[in-house]
Amino acid sequence: MFDFERATDYIRSLELPGSALCEEIQKDALAGDVPIIRPETASFLLFLISLKKPLSILEVGTTIEKYPPRIEEAKRNFARAPRGCDITLLEGDAADILKTLDKPYDLIFMDAAKGQYIHFLPDVLRLLAPDGLLFSDNVLQDGDVLESRFAVTRRNRTIHSRMREYLTMLTHTPELTTSVIPIGDGVSLTMKKNTEEM
């Protein structure tokens, strides 16, 4: 039987440290109990960005933020980043902000409140450029999504059912091509088909 935890430990042992700034941000996040992307997921995302070379990226998470302390922290981190001037911080609730956006994005990184993914999806797909990539993090919810609804603690059942609905929508919508990958806490990669080529 494949030992997923052992494989993850080994993959993490191969990782090289990030930049000094990234390492410092990660250390601060861990100290402040702020959830961050897992190292193996970050490497995979960086690989895809290198491969796809997106010109426009939307992150539904830190670059759309409504929690004031995290807004201030994001501003500080962006100010220290080498390309920080290229980042636009959108302050407010993602459900409201997504409706106001209209330019297409080559890459959308979904890493917000997990129970809201399904509610954000219509606007996210509207904003995703043809042949664009939607990268959704934490879709397996530490294995909870694999379990029966009744095997999950009561407080997690709403997230469980909404995430299952989200994954079903991504994998059963004809205009999309989706792969769910058990890396980190689970990611899904979704390509929006270019209807002009169909």
pLDDT digits (tens, 9 = 90+) for 91-126: 999 999 999 999 999 999 999 999 999 999 999 999
Confidence of residue 195 (pLDDT cuts 50, 70, 90): low
Query: What distance in Å separates the CA atoms of residue 159 and residue 127, rounded to the nearest whole number?
Result: 24
**Cβ atoms of 41 and 137 closer than 8 Å:** yes
Rounded alpha-carbon distances, angstroms, from residue 35 to 31, 46, 95, 108, 181: 10, 18, 20, 19, 20
Confidence of residue 21 (pLDDT cuts 50, 70, 90): confident
Rounded alpha-carbon distances, angstroms, from residue 26 to 42, 104, 119: 12, 30, 29
Please, what's the b/e burial string for 139-159 (b: 16 or more CB within 10 A of its CB; e: otherwise)? bbbeebbeeeeeebeeebeeb
More confident residue, 52 or 192: 52
Structure tokens, 69:
């302390």
pLDDT reported for residue 33 = 85
Q: Are strands 57-60 and 105-110 parallel, antiparallel or unpaired?
A: parallel
The H or E element that residue 134 is part of is: strand 128-137
pTM: 0.90
pLDDT reported for residue 196 = 62
Query: What distance in Å separates the CA atoms of residue 105 and residue 6, rounded to the nearest whole number?
Result: 36
